[in-house]
Structure 1
Amino acid sequence: MALLTLLFVGTLVGVYAVWKYIEASRRHRIPTGLKTLPGPKGYPIIGSIPDVPEKNAFVKFADWSKEYGPIYQVNLAGHNHVWISSDQVAKDLLAKKGAIYSDRPHIPALIDDNRTSAQYLPLLSKNDGWARQRKFANAIMRDSEKALFHRYPEVEAKRMLVELLDEPDRYNHALESFISRVTCRLAWGHSDASDELKQRARELLIGVSPTGALGNKLPFLMSLPDWLFPAKAWERRRAATERRFFEIMQSEVEADVRDKKAAPSWMKLFLENRTKWGFKYELEGAYAVGMHGIAGALTIAAPMQTFCLAMCFYPQFLPMLQEELDRVCGDRPPVSEDRPNLPFLRAVVRECLRWRPPVPTGIPHMLTQDDEYNGYHIPKGSVMHPLEWAIARDPTMFPDPEAFNPSRWVEPGYPTYQEPLTQYPTIINCSQFGYGRRTCQGQTVADEDLFIGIGSIAWLFDISRTAKDTSSPTSEPDVVVDPENVEHQTIFLNEKATISSEELNAGVEPVEPRLEDIILSKYNYPGSFPTTGEDQPQFIEKPKAETKLPETIDPTLDFSTLLIAKPLPFKFDLLPRAGERAAKARSLFNEGLEKGDYTGSRKFWGENQGIHSPLGWGKV
């Protein structure tokens, strides 16, 4: 039976590959007078797939841009991908010609078509759903910004600092929890669903990443029945769980609004103006709010992790940042009103996004009709990538681009210097947030979170490479947690440390299991439904062999492999600058605790997060 299944799947792969090759050859006929874009030749049928590494593929694409120019094309299994490594070329095409360059490519691993389902605004094609949800997004972002984001980043920064004081080795956990809690409050007014929000973000990230779900690598497999392709069953359960989660959150805010106790949130704003946005299906508002929550939880923590990495390898800039914070803020962490007076903090934030962009390949666009650029033909259906890794390394704009150097934003003489310093530098409208009609609308939220989060960490802590291990970043040290005694060891902590935790800890053999490992060990392999008994198949992963970066590779380039690229956890020292400052941080947190600012996280799917239920967490 297994052999027949393999033969069947192999035949399908062959037929699919030949069909894609014939289709691509027919579609890519070059009009008279135009040239084909340059690019690697590749191999028959599969194109250049063997030449693209799964880890840090953005570096390979940037290297190709040095060989083929600022715009070139790559055939990846019959799909034409166009890579843009110039900010000007990206603006010429994706912004100035936004009418034909603003669509999104199909993501085959998702059960519902991302282009038309009106579930995920950043992934929608340019249609009516996209237009009405974008209008709604503009309104909720303006409302949040006007209210200084309801002080949610400042409130949660105090909890984050205490977590870092108590468990500095779990810095990844604290930073991602900070972002998740702030985003959860903005979306629904409270933070107790932040664990669930992180899990929804983890699972969706797998579903949309080219290197994540198998359905994105071999799309034809999504036409198979669930029992024959377990990854499809995993995605179906993910989508159903996500829908139910959004439904629960909306109904709870509805109840709070009726009882006149709803905290400020995007959902509250939607419910108070429910008919204004013209949403077309019952839960479109729930998805519009929830998607912004997921988008925030996915991306904003990555630059905070980059900050820790940068301070270890470029320690000369931390004293400069701390001097500015001490001069402006004194014995308290930064607040929103300090922004005009903290240009170097803003420079550090801006440089984190440039040096290690969280989406280094850029969010892809899709061309809806044939086009030409500087004598080159760009065929309809091409997937357009504004390659942020290369754009952020243009040596004419960023001298010595591989170096982390926030001074490039605040010292006259650098091409990136702008005045007034009360406004610049800023991450608003930087290329990492996209181009043209697909520019990210949540950039003001990201700006506030990073300003408060990174500023608070630098205000309290010294950061340095661990003396006993100064070779290269390695995986985060294991923290032994007793799953039966969690409440006594944590202060309303999230259960799961990181987005894509297994990927981030690849190659690590823990001596003692952590709480997150204990929880996730009870789940099945991605792609399967939870087992319901001993007669169900079990999928056991082989122990991962320990892997180390070759000595010739930059140790600051040990990144995760999904669409959101994050520095893998590494060992470093995170020590309070002074005892009285640590005491101040604890005092501020305790004041909030007494006022009821902080609540614990809750489970939505029962025991073990729904392991034996139709809805619940899937293994990531």
Structure 2
Amino acid sequence: MALLTLLTVGSALLVFAVWKWISISRHNRIPAGLKKLPGPKGYPIIGSIPDVPVKNGFIKFAEWGKEYGDVYQVNLAGHNHVWIMTDELARNMMAKKGLIYAARPCVPALIEDNRTGQRKFANVVMRESEKVMFHRYPEIEAKRMLVELLEEPDRYNHAMESFVARITCRLAWGHSEGSDELKQRARELLIVVSPTGSVLNRLTFLMNLPDWLVPAKAWERRRLHTEEMFFQIMQAEVEADMREKRAPTSWMRTFLENKSKFGFTYDMEGAFAVGMHGIAGALTIAAPIQTFCLAMCFYPQYLKMLQEELDRVCGDRLPRAEDRPNLPFLRAVIRECLRWRPPVPTGIPHALAEDDEFNGYFIPKGSIIHPLEWSIARDPELFPDPEAFNPCRWVEPSYPTYKEPLTEYPTIINSTQFGYGRRLCQGQTVADEDLLIGIGSIAWLFNLQRNPDEITNSDATTPQVVSDPEKIEADTLGMNKKASISTEELSAGIESKKPTMEDEILSKYSYPGSDPTKPQSNQHLADATLDFTTLLIAKPLPFKFQLKPRDEERVKKVKAWFEEGSQRGDYRQTREYWGTNHGEGKPLGWGKV
């Protein structure tokens, strides 16, 4: 039996190698008058995979960009990946030529690709949700998140991810009970779609072998069937609620009430449209909240600035949607979190539908196109001192990123992290609302500080706090005192005098990127703020830090608000769908992640 298995795998590998060689040779045929895009040479069959580190591979792609140019290509296991290093080039190629750059890349590890592309439906439900301020779900769930952080601060990742998943569940199906299951569906799908996740994405020939021979393929089939059943269960529950006239407004209810309007051909198409948009939100929105914690621990000077603004605008309550125009620094912190540590650092990938030409270079059909967000967000002309976390770059007129009016800007809407052209993320407004309320609520209640016992890296690239941020007076922060602001008022305290407020505060700190004597390309090797997950969605790995309430009065208020919501029935317990241990050993249930 073992010999038969070995022969089967060997034969499959040989066929795969021959097929890849023929395929690569065909793609290497350059039309007359055009040149091949530059890029690393790589190795036969596997291409440059051995040269890309599993950890923070996006930094390697950025370094190759400095060597090979603003548009270059890399062969990864026979797949041609094209990397775009600047925002201008990404817009020129992917937006202006949207017809041929809008295809969705194939993911080899997916047995069935149920990632729906029903954009008309998504546009409608997102727009309707925004009109009603997302039913106040972020504000409702922020109170539960804060209580969980008070009770178990070490489980901050769980609380923040649950905050996002509960909001998304409410929007998708009207209730929050499926939040843990939605998080698990998101985790498992993330493994499948990540190049560094499933082995099937690197050794694609394994997909042609039977499940019993390839555990990863059997795992994916179970994941797929569990996902399908979960979406069916959630749709059936909304249908039952509608029959009994007690269904809250939700994306699923909108679908069920308007099936013919959106052009769905069968019921499960709508179920997948709702479910996959829910999964997409659960995958990404929590990452910037976790990045916020990381940033405040290493750049504590900005937490005082943020708290000053929140106290002035919100007073003795949590932030609300209506506060958005009066919270420019909160919006700047959020925008900087996405720039400094983008949740999708390799960019949202597209597939090229037909051959194209760029500045005399040939780009073959089927290439996977990446606007490399890590590089785009580090353009030194647009983002001076790009390695530093600096939200002031969004609210101080001397920076190239400054934009008026400050009642509207800065904003994450239509930022490069959400993609280009016809593949622009449609959940931007949901992310914007979740981050404003989530991050604002955490800063309103808590002080965040690094745990000195956990810092073992003495390298100079690890930021060292050399003064007590608590001693920075609110008056020196340069923020205006009024809740209703204008551009002139905010700028007055920040801009005019030399040295600026920013200079005075930042002179008391050192931070990643602040030392010009250290080569930028090597800083990530010892940078404690770059300990990120290895999957497509990059988020900080859990680290220990101090999360302490600012004062006892705020704690009492939060607990009272949560108790009032509990009495109204706002906070239901999560539900298990597959039995004991989430279906361990059964046909449906949670897979190992």
- Structure 1 pair 367–552 and aligned structure 2 pair: CA distance change class (3 A): closer
Q: 5 Å matches for 1:150-165?
A: 150-165=135-150
Deviation of 1:170 after TM superposition, in Å, equals 0.7
Q: Which segments of 5 or more consecutive residues in structure 1 lack a partner in the other structure?
A: 122-129, 474-548
Deviation of 1:563 after TM superposition, in Å, equals 0.7
Deviation of 1:268 after TM superposition, in Å, equals 1.3
Do the aligned residues in 1 keep the contact of 2:292 with 2:337 (CA within 8 Å)? yes
Corresponding position: 1:222 with 2:195: no
Name the counterpart of 1:96.
96
Q: Secondary structure at the match of 2:74?
A: strand
Tell me how far apart the structure 2 counterparts of residues 564 and 89 of structure 1 sit (CA, whole Å): 23
Tell me how far apart the structure 1 counterparts of residues 16 and 302 of structure 2 sit (CA, whole Å): 53
TM-score (norm 1): 0.84
Do the aligned residues in 1 keep the contact of 2:70 with 2:84 (CA within 8 Å)? yes
Q: Deviations over 1:264-284 (max 9, x none)?
A: 211111112122111012311
Tell me how far apart the structure 1 counterparts of residues 81 and 43 of structure 2 sit (CA, whole Å): 15
1:238 to 223, 235, 241: 223
Do the aligned residues in 1 keep the contact of 2:77 with 2:202 (CA within 8 Å)? no
Q: 5 Å matches for 1:184-333?
A: 184-333=169-318
Tell me how far apart the structure 2 counterparts of residues 182 and 380 of structure 1 sit (CA, whole Å): 39
Name the counterpart of 1:571.
544
Deviation of 1:294 after TM superposition, in Å, equals 0.4
Corresponding position: 1:336 with 2:309: no
Name the counterpart of 2:579.
606
Corresponding position: 1:377 with 2:372: no
Q: Secondary structure at the match of 2:413?
A: coil
Deviation of 1:551 after TM superposition, in Å, equals 9.9
Q: Deviations over 1:204-263 (max 9, x none)?
A: 111111111111111111111111112111111111111111111111111111211111
2:448 to 456, 463, 466: 463
Q: Which moved more, 1:463-472 or 1:378-387?
A: 463-472
Tell me how far apart the structure 2 counterparts of residues 282 and 43 of structure 1 sit (CA, whole Å): 47
Q: Secondary structure at the match of 1:396?
A: coil
Do the aligned residues in 2 keep the contact of 1:17 with 1:46 (CA within 8 Å)? no
Corresponding position: 1:41 with 2:41: yes
Name the counterpart of 1:520.
none
Do the aligned residues in 1 keep the contact of 2:122 with 2:426 (CA within 8 Å)? yes
Q: Which segments of 5 or more consecutive residues in structure 2 lack a partner in the other structure?
A: 459-521
Tell me how far apart the structure 1 counterparts of residues 268 and 524 of structure 2 sit (CA, whole Å): 51
Name the counterpart of 1:361.
346
**Which amino acid is 1:269 matched to?**
T
Name the counterpart of 1:408.
393
Greater per-residue helix proportion? 2
Deviation of 1:550 after TM superposition, in Å, equals 11
- Structure 1 pair 106–395 and aligned structure 2 pair: CA distance change class (3 A): same
Tell me how far apart the structure 2 counterparts of residues 97 and 402 of structure 1 sit (CA, whole Å): 32
Corresponding position: 1:590 with 2:563: yes
Name the counterpart of 1:521.
none
Q: Which moved more, 1:463-472 or 1:338-347?
A: 463-472
**Which amino acid is 1:587 matched to?**
A
Tell me how far apart the structure 2 counterparts of residues 205 and 145 of structure 1 sit (CA, whole Å): 27
Query: How many equivalent pairs are there?
Result: 530
Q: Secondary structure at the match of 1:275?
A: helix
Do the aligned residues in 2 keep the contact of 1:305 with 1:566 (CA within 8 Å)? yes
User: RMSD between aligned alpha carbons?
Assistant: 1.5
Corresponding position: 1:29 with 2:6: no
Tell me how far apart the structure 1 counterparts of residues 276 and 343 of structure 2 sit (CA, whole Å): 18
Name the counterpart of 1:530.
none
Do the aligned residues in 2 keep the contact of 1:17 with 1:77 (CA within 8 Å)? no
Tell me how far apart the structure 1 counterparts of residues 275 and 457 of structure 2 sit (CA, whole Å): 38
1:428 to 408, 413, 422: 413
2:403 to 404, 410, 418: 418
Q: Secondary structure at the match of 1:106?
A: coil
Tell me how far apart the structure 2 counterparts of residues 92 and 550 of structure 1 sit (CA, whole Å): 31
TM-score (norm 2): 0.88
Tell me how far apart the structure 2 counterparts of residues 413 and 268 of structure 1 sit (CA, whole Å): 48
Name the counterpart of 1:488.
none
Deviation of 1:468 after TM superposition, in Å, equals 2.2
Tell me how far apart the structure 1 counterparts of residues 19 and 592 of structure 2 sit (CA, whole Å): 34
Q: Secondary structure at the match of 1:404?
A: coil
Tell me how far apart the structure 2 counterparts of residues 307 and 241 of structure 1 sit (CA, whole Å): 33
Q: Deviations over 1:314-336 (max 9, x none)?
A: 11100000000000000111000
1:393 to 364, 369, 378: 378
Name the counterpart of 1:540.
none
Corresponding position: 1:441 with 2:426: yes
Tell me how far apart the structure 1 counterparts of residues 309 and 128 of structure 2 sit (CA, whole Å): 30
Tell me how far apart the structure 1 counterparts of residues 199 and 356 of structure 2 sit (CA, whole Å): 31
Moved over 4 A (4+): 549-552
Deviation of 1:584 after TM superposition, in Å, equals 0.9
Name the counterpart of 1:507.
none
Tell me how far apart the structure 2 counterparts of residues 250 and 316 of structure 1 sit (CA, whole Å): 47
**Which amino acid is 2:223 matched to?**
R
Deviation of 1:472 after TM superposition, in Å, equals 5.4
Tell me how far apart the structure 1 counterparts of residues 236 and 134 of structure 2 sit (CA, whole Å): 23
Q: Secondary structure at the match of 2:226?
A: helix
- Structure 1 pair 216–300 and aligned structure 2 pair: CA distance change class (3 A): same
Q: Which moved more, 1:74-83 or 1:414-423?
A: 74-83
Q: Secondary structure at the match of 1:463?
A: strand
Deviation of 1:45 after TM superposition, in Å, equals 2.2
**Which amino acid is 1:120 matched to?**
R
Q: Which moved more, 1:243-252 or 1:18-27?
A: 18-27
Tell me how far apart the structure 2 counterparts of residues 31 and 21 of structure 1 sit (CA, whole Å): 19
Tell me how far apart the structure 1 counterparts of residues 457 and 275 of structure 2 sit (CA, whole Å): 38
Tell me how far apart the structure 2 counterparts of residues 248 and 161 of structure 1 sit (CA, whole Å): 30
- Percent identity, please: 72
- Structure 1 pair 551–102 and aligned structure 2 pair: CA distance change class (3 A): closer
Tell me how far apart the structure 2 counterparts of residues 10 and 214 of structure 1 sit (CA, whole Å): 17
**Which amino acid is 1:93 matched to?**
M
Tell me how far apart the structure 1 counterparts of residues 199 and 128 of structure 2 sit (CA, whole Å): 39
Q: Secondary structure at the match of 2:546?
A: strand
- Structure 1 pair 252–415 and aligned structure 2 pair: CA distance change class (3 A): same
**Which amino acid is 2:303 matched to?**
L
Do the aligned residues in 1 keep the contact of 2:524 with 2:530 (CA within 8 Å)? no
Tell me how far apart the structure 1 counterparts of residues 541 and 11 of structure 2 sit (CA, whole Å): 38
Deviation of 1:108 after TM superposition, in Å, equals 1.2
Do the aligned residues in 2 keep the contact of 1:17 with 1:78 (CA within 8 Å)? no
Name the counterpart of 2:590.
617
- Structure 1 pair 238–551 and aligned structure 2 pair: CA distance change class (3 A): closer
Corresponding position: 1:20 with 2:20: yes
**Which amino acid is 1:216 matched to?**
N
Deviation of 1:396 after TM superposition, in Å, equals 0.8
